[in-house]
Structure 1
Amino acid sequence: MNPNDALPPNLFRRQNETPDAEFYHHPRFVTHIDDRAIAAVTQLYREYFPLDSALLDLMSSWVSHLPPEVPYRRVVGLGMNQAELAANPRLESFVVQDLNQQPVLPFANDEFDGAAICVSVDYLTQPVAVLRELARVLRPEAPLVITFSNRSFPSKAVAAWHALDDRGHLALVREYLTAAAGWHAIELLDRSPLPPGRSDPLFAVVARVAPR
C-alpha cells in the first residue's frame, strides 16, 4: 500500500507540475525567511538537537541555520541543487535527490539522532512516504523539527497548503505524521518573533520517533 493512500491525491496537485529538477536547476543563494525568523529556527535547533549528534538536514540548501556555537558529530544534507549543497559549510556530506520522485532515503536504519525540514514541507507531494522513511533512519526518540512560514514558491506548493491558513498548516503536518505512523510526542508551536507583523512568522511541528 502506498503510504500516501491515507490522504486524497488531489491534495498534492500543484500549479506547476513540470519536473522539480528543472525548477531547481539554477542555484538560489538566498534565504526564504527573514533574519528574525531564521533566528527562531536556530533557537529551535538549540533546544531539540543535542551537541555531538548526527543530524539529517532534509530538503537542504546552502545554509542549514544550525547554531554556530554547537558542535555536531555529523551533518548530512539532502536537497535538489548540487551547487547549493556544496556551498553549505555545515554539511559533512550531501545527496542530491528529488523526494517527490524518490521518497526512499539512501540511509541505514537508525543512522541519525535528529532531522530538520526547514521551510520546505509545503513542496512535498509524497509527505507521508517521506516521513515514514525519516522514522526509519532516525533512532527511537530522535527529534524531527519541521519549520515553515507563510512564504513559498506558490507554483510548487501543494494544493492542500494553499487551501489552509497558518493553523491549518500546523494541523496538516500533524496529519502527515499521524498517517506515516512511527511518531509520537507531536508538538505544534508558534515561534513567530514578537511583536507580530515586524518579521516573517515562524511555525514548527516537532515530533519524536516512537519506540520500536
Structure 2
Amino acid sequence: MFCAPPQPLHPSLRPRPRPLWPAPRCSNSNEAQPSPSPSSAAAAGGIRRLVLTPEGRAKLDPRPDRDFYAFPRLVTHVDDGFIATLTDLYRERLRAGCDVLDLMSSWVSHLPPEVQFGRVVGHGLNAQELARNPRLDYYFVKDLNKEQQLELEGSSFDAVLCTVSVQYLQSPEKVFAEIFRVLKPGGVCIVSFSNRMFYEKAIGAWREGTAYSRVQLVTQYFQCVEGFTQPEMIRKLPSAGGSSASPLDAVMRLFGVAGSDPFYAVISYRNFRPM
C-alpha cells in the first residue's frame, strides 16, 4: 500500500512548547533489558519473546530516519474521518488532568480541544514540527530505531499515544517495554494506524502484511511485554455502499488516493484497566 500525498492543514498556533532538554534520566530500575531468548521468564515490563524476524525489521530505505525526517512536514497523513474517530477515542479513554506522552508525534496531536490535560510531552524526529504543536508542553527528539530507552521517569504517564507511526519501528519489543516502564499502573497505551505509510521506511512485516496481520502484529507487540493487559482492537472501516464499490475506486483506494481511510486502534493497559 502506497502513501497518498497528505493533505495540508491551516495551522492555528499557540506559544511554542519547550524542548525537554536535557531530558531527565531514568531513576526507575525497571528499564527495558536486552531482548531475552524466547524461553526466558520475564518479570513485569520484561520482554518475553521476539516478535519480528530480521527480515521483518528491514526497510527498503536503509538511510537513517533522522535524514528522512530532516525537513518538517506540516501536513496530516490521514483523512478527516480518521482524525475525528481518533479524537473521539481519546475523548472516551483519556481523563482530564492526566499526563500524556505523545510518542512519534508531529505538529498535531489530535487530542480533544476541550479537554485540559496535566501535561503533554511529545516525541518525534523533527524539532520544528514538535515546536509548532500547540498541545505539547515539552518535547524531545530521538530516533527510536537507533536507541530505544526513553530518558523519562518510570511510572510518570497516565497515557502513551502512538498515531500512524508504529509501522516504522524496527525494535518494537524494546519500545513497548519502555512504554510499559513509563506508564503508571493502570495507564493506557493507544496505538492507531490506517493503511497509509511511507512505503520505503515501513518495516518488511508491515509492508507485506494485510490489515488483519497488521492488527495482529501490534497485538503481539503488547503481548511480548510481560504485564500489559489483553489488547483490545477497535476498527472502523469505510462504507462499501454507493460509488465507492466501483472497481476503479477500489483500485484507487489500493494506492491511497481515493475513498476514506480505515481506522484501526489497539489498546492495552499497564497491569490492569481502571474501572
Q: Give the TM-score category using the shorter length.
A: over 0.9
TM-score (norm. length: structure 2): 0.74
Q: Distance in 1 between matches of 2:218 and 2:48?
A: 13
Q: Distance in 1 between matches of 2:116 and 2:240?
A: 31
Q: Could you tell me how far 1:194 is from its partner in structure 2?
A: 4.6
| TM alignment of 1:191-210, pairs within 5 A | 191-192=236-237, 194=239, 198-210=259-271
Contact kept in structure 1, 2:102 and 2:121, CA below 8 Å? yes
Q: 1:119 aligned to 2:180?
A: no
Q: Distance in 1 between matches of 2:176 and 2:85?
A: 23
Q: Percent identity?
A: 41
- Aligned partner letter, 1:77: G
Q: Distance in 1 between matches of 2:172 and 2:78?
A: 22
Q: Could you tell me how far 1:182 is from its partner in structure 2?
A: 2.3
Q: 1:95 aligned to 2:140?
A: yes
Q: What residue number does 2:50 align with?
A: 6
Contact kept in structure 1, 2:190 and 2:267, CA below 8 Å? yes
Q: Distance in 2 between matches of 1:51 and 1:11?
A: 38
Tell me the secondary structure at the aligned position of residue 139 of structure 1.
strand
Q: What residue number does 2:151 align with?
A: 106
Q: Distance in 1 between matches of 2:131 and 2:240?
A: 36
Q: Distance in 1 between matches of 2:129 and 2:56?
A: 29
Tell me the secondary structure at the aligned position of residue 142 of structure 1.
strand
Q: Could you tell me how far 1:137 is from its partner in structure 2?
A: 0.3
- Aligned partner letter, 1:210: N
Contact kept in structure 2, 1:182 and 1:210, CA below 8 Å? yes
Q: Could you tell me how far 1:180 is from its partner in structure 2?
A: 2.2
Q: Could you tell me how far 1:181 is from its partner in structure 2?
A: 2.3
1:184–1:155 CA distance, 2 compared to 1 (3 A): same
TM-score (norm. length: structure 1): 0.95
Q: Distance in 2 between matches of 1:72 and 1:209?
A: 20
| TM alignment of 1:30-179, pairs within 5 A | 30-179=75-224
Q: Distance in 1 between matches of 2:238 and 2:103?
A: 24
Where do 5+ consecutive residues of structure 1 fail to align?
none
Q: Distance in 2 between matches of 1:118 and 1:195?
A: 25
Tell me the secondary structure at the aligned position of residue 63 of structure 2.
coil
Contact kept in structure 2, 1:193 and 1:199, CA below 8 Å? yes
Where do 5+ consecutive residues of structure 2 fail to align?
1-33, 36-46, 245-258
Q: Could you tell me how far 1:102 is from its partner in structure 2?
A: 1.2
Q: Could you tell me how far 1:195 is from its partner in structure 2?
A: 6.0
Q: Distance in 2 between matches of 1:192 and 1:29?
A: 26
| Cα deviation 1:50-88 (Å, max 9, x = unaligned) | 111000000010000001011101000010000000000
Q: Could you tell me how far 1:191 is from its partner in structure 2?
A: 2.7
Which structure's CA Rg is the greater one? 2
| Bigger RCO (CA 8 Å, 6+ sep) | 2
